[in-house]
Structure 1
Amino acid sequence: MVGYAEPDADALCVRLADEAYALGAAETADTYLNIDAMASAAVRAHADAVHPGYGFLAETADFAQAVIDAGMVWVGPKPETIRVLGSKVAARRIAAEVGVPMTPGTTQPVRDAAEVVEFAREYGLPIAIKAVYGGGGRGLKVVHEPDEVAAAFESAMHEAEVAFGNGDCFVERFLARPRHVEVQVLGDQFGTVLAVGMRDCSLQRRNQKLIEEAPAPFLAAETVRELERAAVAICSRAHYESAGTVGFLVDDGTMSFMEVNTRIQVEHPVTEAVTGVDLVAAQLAIAEGAPVEAVPGLESGVTPEPRGHAMEFRINAEDPSLGFVPFPGVVESLQVPTGPGIRFDSGVAAGDSISSRYDSMIAKLIVKASTRAECLRRAERALAELHIHGVPTVVPFDKAVLESADFGAGADWRGRRRCVQCEFPRVHALDRGGTAAESALGNA
């Protein structure tokens, strides 16, 4: 069953659901972010369990507790684990306790701009001011000059308060061009935590991911082992259950813990593609009390060796030539790619409306092949076959990325460090092939 807000009455997920329950008003605060409304809808449906997905209340400890208090199974970590790891400063303290490398940063929320200035004096600029309970690039401000501190601090606090209901922020030394690397973990109620693969999610705009791939390419074997060890150590200390993701910044061998996402990730299909582990099925099995070793593909109790290479392209209704501005509208027609190694997960169909109320992602294109080079070629063909009319999408930008020698060639791509904090410039002349790719990537 699903619960839906008024604007989504005709959404594809509602049409496909066996049962759908109206949540009422159009405002997100009254529907998808309303704990009582969501829990009550599940009770009315006589649900046995609630899987929160990867948005809205998915990482909200109070929602998890409300589901449990209503007599249902919460498909995710325990509320106390979500609460601890949901605070980035608390998560940093745990990481420090288990010896995980991190950039210098505060272990408590900063009280005012003067504290931020003092931190900058001690550790130097640039610095990042981050929402304690933030994510998705919201409540994050990078400061390069001393006179920017006060305004950036106020802006970060305000943005965090609006987005997360809590304006607390912390500060850390900013790595200008690292890679964003994630370790997928699964934990059970018996204390076992296992790393289940690694992803690279460095290609982003506004600190939100655009292209992800697994396994993370161009990493030394010892770096992979250390990141997996660190992820397992953090989650073991937090008594982690279910699927989770531990994020790191990696820069020329320097590793720094970033955060733990206490939910399934948008990009989980790339890990599934190269490990053969169905992560959502694993979540359900663990919620029912199964050990990690009972999950198909993990019976050996060791991290599975990746088989092949996979990439995911988030298909957003945005115009990259205008700085990735979202474009609500109607999907007039949709032609999806097919063939071996191609998966297309869509939240819309032809004739559906794209609302300005929610995230602009409308689909995901997942491509799997035996090698990264073959995956790149297969992705080019898949993107060429994908046609969406009625709203602009990021597909032209995806094509420009694949045309870029920097992205495709290992040494050059690694040297440029496709970085987590890149603010991609406006993409002009996307019909010019290589010129477009250089415009999109060369200055990032």
Structure 2
Amino acid sequence: MNDIAIMSLLIVTLFLILGSGVWIGLALSGVAWIGMQLFSSRPAGDAMAVTIWGSSSGWTLTALPLFLWMGEILFRTKLSQDMFKGLAPWMQRLPGRLLHTNVIGCAIFAAVSGSSAATCATIGKMTLPELKQRGYPDDMVIGTLAGAGTLGLLIPPSIIMIVYGVSADVSISHLFIAGILPGILLALLFSGYIAVWALRHPDQIPPADTQMTFMQKLKESSSLIPVVLLIAAVLGSIYTGFATATEAAAVGVVGSLLLAGLQRSMNWQTFKESLLGATRLYCMMALILAGAAFLTLAMGYLGLPRHLAEWIGSLGLSQFQLIVILAIFFIILGCFLDGISMVVLTMGVIMPTVTAAGIDPVWFGIFVVFVVEMAQITPPVGFNLFVLQGMTGRQLPYIARVALPMFLLMVAGVLIIYFVPGLATWLPLHMKL
């Protein structure tokens, strides 16, 4: 069989296994075993054992469960109520007023979470009842929250950046730093959209709350101090070179435990739930990463990545054309797979092509995060859509429709970082780690 026939057979087999309800990690391992057993002279058994153990025991991956645990702890604290109380006084004079709490709240929580679903759920718990009570339109409240929740993937520390860094062998610290300016850019695009919409529909924005003096605003914002200090401790330790991403994750866990204790929201039940929640999520991710590592090895023995890279290279595509094709590919893939599965499933095949095209792997990591963000709000498998469906009781088609402007703003964000790549590459080049 030729390479195209082998690749087609493996892809069909993968989707058949996934469609039968088998866990993604096991499906990836199964397809890899079939590929090696049928089309390679290398014995599949020992290759599977060595690869799965190696991918599961790497030190770099240690940051992942720690950041997950930090997010789980903070999700169970009083952080959401304190954040709204601290942010609301400063939003009253902006066009769109308290709608901006969705964006700014998500941007702040993203800097201590790393998970899109956790960011969306935590800030949704804060803003949905408050904005509904004040009379803000549901379409804008839900739509902006769906989009802003994806900032949990882009603003460091980001779980998907850790997964990409491990899969593509790229510095996680460099990826974290590279995500700062694109994250701010996307947050500004979201807030800019809210402001323009509010100026065009002033009748749908409720009147401002009671005016406060500057000192009163500062007093209300004192509740933000703990989370700001935690952000400074986690990210500052990375950016100053004082700690690696893994060590910074440990700092974040200790800080979040202290924060929960000071808020009197930490008890044995909360501690146990947060630990079990992070363990379950990490085990799911670790199984997917292990299966993807074995599939990458199998594809390497079959020579498929090299042949695919040579074939794409023979098409004579420009960098822009290649990026457009990859963006469309990831958006379509995101309709059926979650972000982590998308990254680990494709990096082994795509990275040789990306490297051959002269694309910076750190910049490409930010691009991948952008398109994975889009997948979070595209049906039928959009995690943020599921989170909001559970919180609002609305149907998925409705949530996807009101989130469409946010999707288009993410497309604009991808175009901006393509034509201004320094937004993603300047900071990693000029900061000593």
Which structure exhibits the higher relative contact order, with contacts defined as CA atoms closer than 8 Å and separated by 6 or more residues? 2
TM-score by length of 2: 0.28
Q: Higher helix proportion, which one?
A: 2
